[in-house]
């Protein structure tokens, strides 16, 4: 009897979720199709970190269709090659007209190795970029690691802070000259709504005194926002814009370090299917900020669902942003 009751409850819950999901997904899909991610990307070079899966892959696919030359900055070359092959096949098999028939042929995919957990790798990558690439129109800092167990980068930094903030901090600074010479150009930083639960503890940035994987992820995402806003301030008048976004809750492999009990997994999968965004839905704001003429000249703003959103005061604290910048310069070796 108890088993039958539980089964009936689960069936009812599943049916209710299915009905809500159909309505919710339909609304999301309508918004996706009506958003009209416009903007000529033909002749533009775009660098996307973490482009071999999830949001990065979806962003690369759309910008490629818009005619951009997309550089995939990925840690695992084998996986990146597989993803690039899939994207090329998908593009060649795509039906219907091009997003912009005047933009010419579809874009080009280039793979370059980049491990954001290694400052040595970041420097080597940037050196290669400066030697081989005559321009860089858009930099999308997309790669990230989410709520992993305590571990350190090659340089001894807590992994989430090291990859999500410090790796991208060094990358962006080393490519600023190329972005300026390619202006008007754009920098797009992918953060998270979870920044709200983070704080910048300058006494323990490396989490050596205590470590909470959820808090440390939120702190790294708050650091992304503070970095983007401070960078936008420093780049005023250069025709290089910087904006930061949250993609919403998206079904990607970012949560691979989260352990979900086996009995709960079917329900979690149903809920995620019903309410989480698909990667292409989650990538819409990245694509919008990278390509839309609507945000030409807009800088230092925070976006969600292709609209500007308000930030909490702690994410707009200019003194904390400047201090974080100064400390980050020392940590990554820009300043001794």
* Catalytic residue set: 217
- d(Cα 121, Cα 226) in Å, to the nearest integer? 24
- Name which of 219, 210, 82, 230 is nearest 163 in CA terms: 219
CA distance 145 to 299: 26
End-to-end, the C-alpha distance of the chain in Å comes to 70
Cα–Cα–Cα angle for 306, 166, 319, nearest 5°? 75
How many Cβ atoms sit within 10 Å of the Cβ of residue 307?
8
**Cβ of 34: how many Cβ atoms within 10 Å?**
7
SS3 at position 272? helix
């Amino acid at each position: 009897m108890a088993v039958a009751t539980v089964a009936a409850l689960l069936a009812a819950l599943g049916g209710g979720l299915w009905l809500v999901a159909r309505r919710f997904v339909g609304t999301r899909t309508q918004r996706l199709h009506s958003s009209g991610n416009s903007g000529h990307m033909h002749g533009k070079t775009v660098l996307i970190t973490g482009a071999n899966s999830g949001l990065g892959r979806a962003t690369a696919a759309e910008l490629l269709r818009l005619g951009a030359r997309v550089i995939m900055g990925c840690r695992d070359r084998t996986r990146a090659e597989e993803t690039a092959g899939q994207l090329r096949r998908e593009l060649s098999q795509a039906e219907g007209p091009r997003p912009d028939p005047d933009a010419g042929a579809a874009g080009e995919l280039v793979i370059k190795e980049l491990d954001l957990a290694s400052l040595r790798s970041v420097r080597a990558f940037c050196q290669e970029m400066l030697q081989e690439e005559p321009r860089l129109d858009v930099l999308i800092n997309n790669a990230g690691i989410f709520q992993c167990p305590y571990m350190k980068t090659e340089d001894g930094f807590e992994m989430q802070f090291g990859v999500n903030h410090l790796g991208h901090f060094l990358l962006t600074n080393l490519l600023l000259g190329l972005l300026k010479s390619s202006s008007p150009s754009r920098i797009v930083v992918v953060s998270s709504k979870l920044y709200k639960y983070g704080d910048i503890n300058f006494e323990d940035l490396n989490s050596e005194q205590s470590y909470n994987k959820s808090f440390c992820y939120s702190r790294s995402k708050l650091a992304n926002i503070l970095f983007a806003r401070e960078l936008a301030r420093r780049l005023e008048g250069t025709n290089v814009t910087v904006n930061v976004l949250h993609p919403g809750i998206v079904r990607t492999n970012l949560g691979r370090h989260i352990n979900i009990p086996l009995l709960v997994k079917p329900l979690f999968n149903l809920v995620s299917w019903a309410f989480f965004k698909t990667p292409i839905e989650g990538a819409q704001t990245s694509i919008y900020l990278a390509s839309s003429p609507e945000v030409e000249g807009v800088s230092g703003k925070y976006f969600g669902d292709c609209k500007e959103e308000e930030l909490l005061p702690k994410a707009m604290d200019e003194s904390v942003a400047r201090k974080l910048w100064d400390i980050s310069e020392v940590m990554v070796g820009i300043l001794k």
